[in-house]
Structure 1
Amino acid sequence: MKEEGDRLINVLFVCLGNICRSPMAEAVFRNLTEKEGLGGQFRIDSAGTGNWHEGKPPHLDTRRMLDLEGVSYEGMTARQVAISDWDEFDYIIAMDRQNYSDLESLRSFDEGVVVATFMDYVYDSDSKDVPDPYFTGNFEEVYELVQKGCENLLADIKEAYQL
């Protein structure tokens, strides 16, 4: 958790392998904060519950989708979520309910970290999970959900921190 007086708001997006959904959310959220002149007030990262893709860049189709939208993913590589993330992040956002359950099984305490599913921030959808495009191939649908959810998450954080 951030220390007293620390101005960074730390946001972590988590999916299964950290090559499709969570890096897309990381890139989109970073892009939104930078467009609003808030980039310096955030630390944004992503991770996977599994370690299969550690050190690899986002999935080719995730990169293509981000390129189409003009969103940078420069320097991003997959990593596995770590116990230390509970100390370092203010928000840990799971891309689906299984990721959320996996995260909850890692948590042994509650230090005020906001743990939520990404779809909690997509208000106009009945879906409970961001579909995994690694399996569905529908990167466009995922991008639309990610864009909406990131906009709403940022609005909530701005209100909470009076940014």
Structure 2
Amino acid sequence: MISVLFVCLGNICRSPMAEAVLRSKIVQRGLSEKIKVDSAGTGDWHVGSVPHEGTRKLLDNWRISYEGMTARQVDSRDFSDFDYMVAMDDSNVDNLRKVPGGEEATIIKFMDLLPDEQLREVPDPYFTGNFEEVYRLIDSGCDVLLDRIVREKL
């Protein structure tokens, strides 16, 4: 089974949104038995919390499930458990590199999936409030990532 871990700062806005969106796309393509998805944060402030209200509201509008999702923090096992580690911004990449096992890990910066976008990091809607912009980026980037996984691994 191929595995993807999305990583952001607190694991309540961007990475759970990406987890839910990619899961939905995997189901639509009939790949549920071949790809698993999770998300985690580099910080521990929200461990055990459900996704942010803004993320939940947006996912509800798109009828995308986030059932059972709660925030957790990245740990060193993630580097061996996941084939793709996808970080939302440069700070997340830097923080992942500091986790034991992260020094040599292959980490994808999410916006590298969308080279035609001007933004080079997925903005944190916890601070900006712009969940719609983040959803647009995540929706497009998850399509690219899923196509890449199918091409490279399936």
Relative to the length of structure 2, the TM-score reads 0.95
1:21-70 per-residue CA deviation (whole Å, 9 max, x = no partner) reads 00000000000011000011111000000000000100011000001111
SS at match of 1:22: helix
Q: Which residue of 2 aligns with 1:9?
A: 2
Q: Which residue of 2 aligns with 1:158?
A: 150
Which amino acid is 2:3 matched to?
N
Give 2:37's match in structure 1, choosing from 36, 44, 50: 44
Q: Please, what is the CA RMSD of the aligned residues? A: 1.1
**Equivalent residue letter for 2:110:** F
What is the CA distance between 1:114 and its match in structure 2? 3.4
Other-structure match for 1:5:
none
Q: Where does the alignment leave 5 or more consecutive residues of structure 1 unmatched?
A: 1-7
Rounded to whole Å, the distance in 2 between the matches of 1:115 and 1:123 is: 16
Match of residue 22, structure 1, among 15, 22, 32: 15
Closer/same/farther in 2, CA of residues 12 and 108 from structure 1, 3 Å limit: closer
Runs of 4+ in 1 over 2 A off after TM superposition: 107-110
Identity percentage of aligned residues: 53
- For residues 16 and 73 of structure 2, the distance between their equivalents in structure 1, rounded to whole angstroms, comes to 12
Which residue pairs with 1:3 in the alignment?
Answer: none
Which digits, 9 at most, give the CA deviation of each residue in 1:96-154, with x for residues without a partner? 011011111223564xx531111011232021100000000000000000000000000
TM-score (norm 1): 0.90
Gapped regions of structure 2 (runs ≥ 5): none
Residue 130 of structure 1 corresponds to which residue in structure 2? 122
5 Å-filtered alignment, 1:1-163, equals 8-106=1-99, 107=101, 110=104, 114-161=106-153, 163=154
